Amino acid sequence: MHKPPITVIVLSVLLILTGAMGILYHLSDFKGASPFQFDVLGVAFIRFLAIVAGGFMLRGHNWARWLAILWIAFHVAISALNSMSQMAMHALILVAFALLLFRRPASDYFRTQQSL
């Protein structure tokens, strides 16, 4: 297995930490009186997808790179419902992720891992 580029490592760890912290933060939203809180479960699922994307990017799975991009793009769309400044910030993060995950070293890493 080839070592992932530093950008893939940093973005993967960032996704894993963001997902884990988000799940921990939203644990307090669960209430025992109402066991079926689909909005809270939805938020937890979205956070879990970040953990999955980060973990599998470290293993070189190309689909995880695309999941990470879709995850950030989803946040751009959701933040557009809140404010333009939030949307702009998430859009900048999306551009940064795309540039870093589709640069040659990252692309070579994901391509090499697919052929193994």
Task: Tell me, yes or no, whether 99 lies in a domain.
Answer: yes
Q: Are 101 and 69 in contact (CB under 8 A)?
A: yes
CA-only gyration radius of the chain, Å: 16
CA 84/CA 89 separation, integer angstroms: 9
CA 49/CA 64 separation, integer angstroms: 9
Residue with tokens 């950030």: 72
Domain count, the chain: 1
**Other C-beta atoms lying within 10 Å of the C-beta of residue 64:** 23
Q: Are 109 and 65 in contact (CB under 8 A)?
A: no
Task: Tell me, yes or no, whether 104 lies in a domain.
Answer: yes
Task: List the domain range (segments joined by +) for residue 77.
Answer: 6-115
pLDDT per residue, tens digit, the chain (116 aa), is: 589 999 999 999 999 999 999 999 987 776 665 666 677 788 889 999 999 999 999 999 999 999 999 999 999 999 999 999 999 999 999 999 999 999 999 999 999 877 66
CA 27/CA 76 separation, integer angstroms: 24
Task: Tell me, yes or no, whether 1 lies in a domain.
Answer: no
Task: Tell me, yes or no, whether 76 lies in a domain.
Answer: yes
CA 67/CA 88 separation, integer angstroms: 20
Task: Tell me, yes or no, whether 35 lies in a domain.
Answer: yes
Q: Are 72 and 46 in contact (CB under 8 A)?
A: no
